[in-house]
Amino acid sequence: MKKIIDVMIDSGSRPEILKETLPTIIDNLVFSGKLRWMFHEAIINKEKSEENIEWIKSLNMFDVIEVNEPVGQAISIGNILEHCKSKYLFHIEDDYIIKRNIDLDVMWDIIENANDVNQLIFHRRKTMPKVSGWEKGMYVKANHVLTTSPHWRFTPALWRLSFIKPKWIRWEGDNGHWALNKMLQEGINPVTKTHEWVANNMGTFYYGPINELAYCEHVGSGFSGRLPKKVAQQDIGLEKLHICCGSVYLDGYCNVDIQGKKRKPDEVVKNKSTLKNYYNNPLNKVPKEDRGKFVVDEKWNILSLWPVKSESVKSIIMIQSIEHFLPSEAEYIVNEVYRVLIPGGEFKFDFPNIVKTVHDYSEVDFDFMTRLIYCNHKDKYSIHKCCYNEEKFTNLLEFNNRKWSKIEFKDIIEHEYPVIGGIATKW
């Protein structure tokens, strides 16, 4: 049987990057069988995409060239998956340099002989023992040591197509990675999603043991640009964001939530607050008939790409919110926070102090304690999905090689229950 692996290059109007990265991909993918090269181009900028396509055609090595409007990465990959004819796909984005040989004969043998390995990932940094506090595990598969990854990655990796193709959904927007992982992990409590569960149910592994050196380098900006143009080109042009604001309308900030009523240009807000008086309003000074109809400046799903230019925001505040998201979702949110902050910009946050809550209330007011830990479950947004201490939140902030000049834990606003607050200043 002839060995064939499909190779997908996922690109988006960046010829200067593509011409730097593609030669390293070609040179460092080592395979005795046939590599079937496929190229996908999302037209973010027409002239640059045309330059990419012309260059790719001139190489005379690509079996498939797919060109689309920027409709979202999950749709783009879905289009290429339809062209795949082999059992395995090596997927890589245009902004990754491969720094050392990847022996695809070895990877073929592993994934052929270990039926529970569905993705072999090649890290862009040394493989660490934990990610955002999640402990990885090492497993021997087909005589090779592999390390579990908590997610299906869109970073350079070999995919088992019989596993992933039937599960693929063409999610709109630029959040396909998170939507895919949410689906793969549906119904799984973060506490029970151990490395054993991942190994047995998802089969997502980094190649090599913990402390394996990086195989590749990410040279892009961190923004893929594969979302619809109407979102990618929007820019609110504001310097201070209040994310997941709920009913608290913070004066001087752009108040953002997925719920609420978007404020009209001339509308007077009746429940303004300040950092010193954050919970001063809260809707009890608004007429009864208006309660529950809180006003926001912008309505976003913050699990999709934020309509804000990179490095354009001076300050972001997120109060008692991050715990309402799964760990993978929190990673995406902090990544967007980091992307839009200017160097020296501040991310102000707080979240429940679980240890102190249990200490203070377990024998005094058990019902109040459980509400603080789990939230009130009055709707799908009023649920706590993760908890943090200072160490775990620091890991979240620093995940994905994000650099902060200072992370200081301190009170941001006054609460009537135990919290942990702080300020992270972007490097």
Report whether 230 contacts 174 (CB < 8 A): no
Domain match, 43 and 189 both: yes
Domain match, 363 and 397 both: yes
Residue 46's identity, in one-letter code, is K
- The rounded distance, in Å, linking the Cα atoms of 158 and 89 is 6
Domain match, 248 and 192 both: no
Structure tokens at 408: 């200081």
Cα–Cα separations (whole angstroms), residue 4 to 31, 159, 244: 9, 13, 47
The domain containing residue 16 runs over which residues?
4-218
Domain match, 62 and 35 both: yes
Report whether 413 contacts 401 (CB < 8 A): no
Of 188, 218, 248, the residue at which a domain comes to its end is: 218
Residue 52 lies in a domain: yes
Domain match, 30 and 75 both: yes
pLDDT < 50 positions in the chain: 222-237, 282-284, 286, 291
Structure tokens at 140: 């021997």
Residue 229 lies in a domain: no
Give how many domains the chain has, as a whole number.
Answer: 2
Residues forming beta bridges with residue 89, ordered by sequence position: 6, 159
Domain match, 192 and 239 both: no
CATH code: domain of residue 86: 3.90.550.10
Q: What is the pLDDT of residue 227?
A: 38
Structure tokens at 372: 């603080």
Of 218, 246, 265, the residue at which a domain comes to its end is: 218
Residue 382 lies in a domain: yes
Residue 223 lies in a domain: no
Residue 13 lies in a domain: yes
Residue 367 lies in a domain: yes
Q: What is the pLDDT of residue 236?
A: 45
Q: What is the pLDDT of residue 277?
A: 86
Measured between its terminal Cα atoms, the distance across the chain in Å is: 53
Domain match, 126 and 270 both: no
- The rounded distance, in Å, linking the Cα atoms of 294 and 382 is 16
Which of 240, 90, 206 has its CA nearest to residue 156?
90
Residue 181 lies in a domain: yes
Domain match, 381 and 317 both: yes
Report whether 314 contacts 345 (CB < 8 A): yes
Report whether 205 contacts 148 (CB < 8 A): yes
Rounded to two decimals, the pTM is 0.58
Domain match, 113 and 251 both: no
Domain match, 95 and 203 both: yes
Domain match, 275 and 190 both: no
159-171 pLDDT, tens digit each: 999 999 988 876 6
